[in-house]
């Protein structure tokens, strides 16, 4: 087998590093450098797989942060509704808000129960991020849809819920790939 010089088109032996005619460097038969892996492939070396696993763990950990953020927002909203219902039942009669103190207290307690559920999901995500993220996304999407239905189909303020759903979806995708890479490494 021979190598053709790309500079002068002279034929050289396959082991030659420089052209015998012009003296310039010849291309090598083997590729050098790292292999670029797409997001759907696994690295071929153990070191590459370890690095991929570490990167996916970072992405999967976002499930904890998102679920905890939802829990904190629920705590703030539920606490405010509960306080409004207990302290100032007459002042909470705004457009679209429950009219009585009992309704405010009931909704506040319900939202605080949701806070407890999302807090539990957040801490579950530290041990099992994939099922926690799936459960959190299903519950959060259900709550957003229920809120739209209860409000009579009014679609307002959906930017944050959409961002949260996208982030949870990415955490789920990373969790699926994380699980597949762990199974691939075990083989």
In angstroms, rounded to a whole number, what is the distance separating the alpha carbons of residues 39 and 164?
Answer: 22
- For 80-107, the pLDDT digits (tens) are 988 888 886 454 445 454 457 788 888 8
Kindly report whether the global pTM for this prediction surpasses the value 0.85: no
% pLDDT > 90, the chain: 18
User: The tokens of 157 are what?
Assistant: 């303020």
> Which alpha helices (H) appear in 32-158, and where do they start and end?
46-87, 101-127, 129-150
Q: What ranges do the domains of the chain cover?
A: 47-186
User: The tokens of 4 are what?
Assistant: 């053709």
Q: Quick one: pLDDT band at residue 66, thresholds 50, 70, 90? A: confident
Q: What are phi and psi of 18, to 5 degrees?
A: -130, 150
Contact 38, 23 (CB under 8 A): no
In angstroms, rounded to a whole number, what is the distance separating the alpha carbons of residues 71 and 120?
Answer: 9
- Please give the average per-residue pLDDT across 144-157, as a whole number: 82
pLDDT of residue 120: 93
DSSP designation for 2: E
CA dihedral of residues 116, 63, 136, 164 (deg, nearest 10): 100
- Please give the average per-residue pLDDT across 8-36, as a whole number: 80
Contact 104, 98 (CB under 8 A): yes
pLDDT of residue 101: 78
pLDDT of residue 92: 43
pLDDT of residue 31: 58
Beta-strand runs (E) in the chain: 2-4, 11-13
- Please give the average per-residue pLDDT across 95-122, as a whole number: 82
Q: Quick one: pLDDT band at residue 112, thresholds 50, 70, 90? A: very high
Q: Which residue has the higher pLDDT, 64 or 40?
A: 64
* Spatial CB neighbours of 31, under 8 Å, sequence gap ≥ 6: none
In angstroms, rounded to a whole number, what is the distance separating the alpha carbons of residues 30 and 169?
Answer: 40
pLDDT of residue 34: 60
**Interior/surface letters 19-34, b for 16+ CB within 10 angstroms, e for the rest:** beeeeeebeeeeeeee
Count of Cβ atoms closer than 10 Å to residue 59 Cβ: 16
CA dihedral of residues 146, 147, 152, 153 (deg, nearest 10): -80
- Please give the average per-residue pLDDT across 145-154, as a whole number: 83
């Amino acid at each position: 087998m021979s190598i053709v010089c790309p500079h002068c088109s002279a034929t050289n032996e396959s082991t030659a590093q420089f052209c015998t005619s012009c003296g310039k460097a010849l291309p090598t038969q083997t590729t050098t450098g790292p292999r670029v892996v797409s997001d759907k492939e696994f690295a071929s070396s153990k070191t590459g797989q370890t690095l991929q696993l570490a990167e996916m763990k970072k992405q999967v950990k976002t499930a904890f942060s998102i679920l905890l953020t939802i829990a904190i927002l629920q705590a703030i909203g539920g606490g405010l509704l509960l306080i409004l219902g207990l302290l100032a039942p007459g002042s909470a009669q705004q457009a679209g808000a429950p009219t009585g103190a009992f309704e405010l207290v009931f909704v506040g307690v319900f939202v605080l129960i949701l806070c407890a559920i999302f807090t539990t999901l957040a801490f579950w995500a530290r041990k099992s991020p994939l099922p926690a993220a799936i459960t959190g996304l299903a519950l959060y999407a259900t709550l957003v849809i229920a809120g739209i239905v209860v409000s009579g189909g009014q679609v307002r303020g959906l930017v944050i819920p959409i961002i949260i759903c996208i982030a949870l979806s990415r955490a789920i995708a990373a969790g699926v790939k994380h699980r597949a890479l762990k199974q691939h490494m075990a083989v």
